[in-house]
Amino acid sequence: MLKHLFCAVMLLAAGINHAAECSSGEPAPGVALIVIDGFRPDKFEAADTPFLDRLAGEGAFTDRARSVNPTITRVNFVTMSTGTHVDRHGVVGGAYRDADFAERRTDGPTYREAQDMVPVPTLFEILEDHGFRTGMFAMKGYELVGARGASVQVGGRDLYPDEIWSYRYTLSVEGSAEEGLRRRLKMNDLLVDALGEVLAGETLDFFIINLGATDYVGHIHGPESDAYIRVLEATDSHASRIAQLLSENDPGRSWRFIIASDHGFTQTNEEQVVLPVEVDPHNIPELADAGIEHKLYERGGRAAEVYLKDRDTHGKAFEILSALAWVDRIYTEHDIGGRAGTLSELKVLYPGRHGDFYIMTDPSYALNFANPGQHGSNDESDVRIPLIIHAPGRVPSNADIDNASNADLAPTIAGLLGVEDDRIRAMDGRALIDLK
Ligand SMILES: [Zn+2]
């Protein structure tokens, strides 16, 4: 097996000339995309994170990169690995209603079952075609939906012992919130261990790893909590350990680091839970009382899609939804309430997979779950995320990457690896390299 992809080999495979950055015999730089799940830029500022601060100082940094709609993990990971929005990749969430109003899911026991539902090429497939070896290290498991083609696919569900996995959304374990937090931090540790085991046996040229403890802590403690700052500080050490593992396992090779996030976080009010899961998370009583058959699927707790069985009921349904205190705004394609065409603005329209209404909730309520932290909406708190591109020589530290989207990451990574391909050019995003 190929232990190193040397520059010469890469240039042949990629068919392009980046000779300036390759001196003979040196392996080409790898690219690591480290995702910090649910990463608020203002809390990055507040936390003590020496490793990430160094990368941000030496590389290009913005505190205003953007998550795509809906601002949830699964959707944004598919966007990161396909460079497209939902209107092209089609993964709007975990569950949706198809054209016949039947429930369909974008998962399965291992999430790999859903990979074939993604109708666009993935970055993993493209890079593997160009001779690179790639990996996805998914904490939650469903980050794997967009990882079709990756040689190495690690899912958290297979990785974590039950005493960690089954408590990931539980505040206190054995009566102790401290113990709960310790177990959540351990999730990052074990995922980095899994990466280390892979790197000890083989060389990867590109991988994505989701350090997801921040998301669990953000939901359970809220993004305004001390616990959220603590998990960010711990995550800094986890990211630093990844860099250390890379240099230990492959001392001759340099690495480029992209530190990104899937979405931000909003502090919500766990005292006012709408449609609690214990009762029925999918049915809005006010619509049911009016005889309107429907299903609601939440997206991160701050957004939801409402599917109507009989589309002739959309006028009445819109009226009822508009009057609900927890509904902040409604997007729809239907010509109603001056909202015609607003759903396509969100780039979530995908045939047979989008709801009739897309709702953003008021943060003084919590949807389905009694959590003080939620996301999913297109409010700035959910959309805005930090982004660091540490690629000395390719991306200057003063490069303007403000408003970079998660759709830009795949073209950027391809560019850093010197890959040119029509499938990359067909993506929605643009490469954030060679910027002035
Ligand atoms: Zn989340």
Neighbours of 88 (CB within 10 A): 19
Answer for the pair 173, 191: CB distance below 8 angstroms, yes or no. Answer: no
Alpha-carbon gap, residue 425 to 363, rounded angstroms? 38
Alpha-carbon gap, residue 207 to 194, rounded angstroms? 13
Q: What is the arithmetic mean of pLDDT over 22-39?
A: 83
Specify the DSSP class assigned to residue 29: P
Answer for the pair 11, 19: CB distance below 8 angstroms, yes or no. Answer: yes
C-alpha 136 – ligand 1 centre gap (Å) = 19
102 CB-near residues (< 8 Å, 6+ apart): none
Cα-Cα end-to-end distance for the chain: 39
| Structure confidence at residue 143 (pLDDT) | 97
Where do the DSSP E strands lie in 231-382? 255-260, 266-267, 273-274, 294-299, 303-308, 327-331, 357-361, 366-367, 373-374
What are 305's two structure tokens? 């899609």
C-alpha 409 – ligand 1 centre gap (Å) = 20
**For 81-90, what is each residue's pLDDT tens digit?**
999 999 999 9
C-alpha 160 – ligand 1 centre gap (Å) = 18
C-alpha 375 – ligand 1 centre gap (Å) = 6
C-alpha 350 – ligand 1 centre gap (Å) = 23
Alpha-carbon gap, residue 201 to 135, rounded angstroms? 13
What mean pLDDT, rounded, does the chain reach? 92
C-alpha 219 – ligand 1 centre gap (Å) = 6
Residue that is written with structure tokens 């995309």 in the block: 33
C-alpha 253 – ligand 1 centre gap (Å) = 34
Q: What is the arithmetic mean of pLDDT over 23-42?
A: 87
C-alpha 69 – ligand 1 centre gap (Å) = 14
What is the fold of 273-370? Answer: Gyrase A; domain 2 (3.30.1360)
**For 324-366, what is each residue's pLDDT tens digit?**
999 999 999 999 989 899 999 999 999 989 999 999 999 999 9
Please report, for the chain, the start and end positions of each structural domain, with discontinuous segments joined by +. 2-84+120-267+376-425, 273-370
- For 143-175, b where at least 16 C-beta lie within 10 A, e where not — what string? bbbbbbbbbbbbbbeebbeeebeebbeebebee
Alpha-carbon gap, residue 45 to 399, rounded angstroms? 20
C-alpha 264 – ligand 1 centre gap (Å) = 9
Which homologous superfamily is 2-84+120-267+376-425 in?
Alkaline Phosphatase, subunit A (3.40.720.10)
| Angle between helices 213-221 and 226-249 in degrees, nearest 10 | 180
**For 148-178, what is each residue's pLDDT tens digit?**
999 999 998 889 999 999 999 989 999 999 9
**For 411-434, what is each residue's pLDDT tens digit?**
999 999 999 999 999 999 999 987
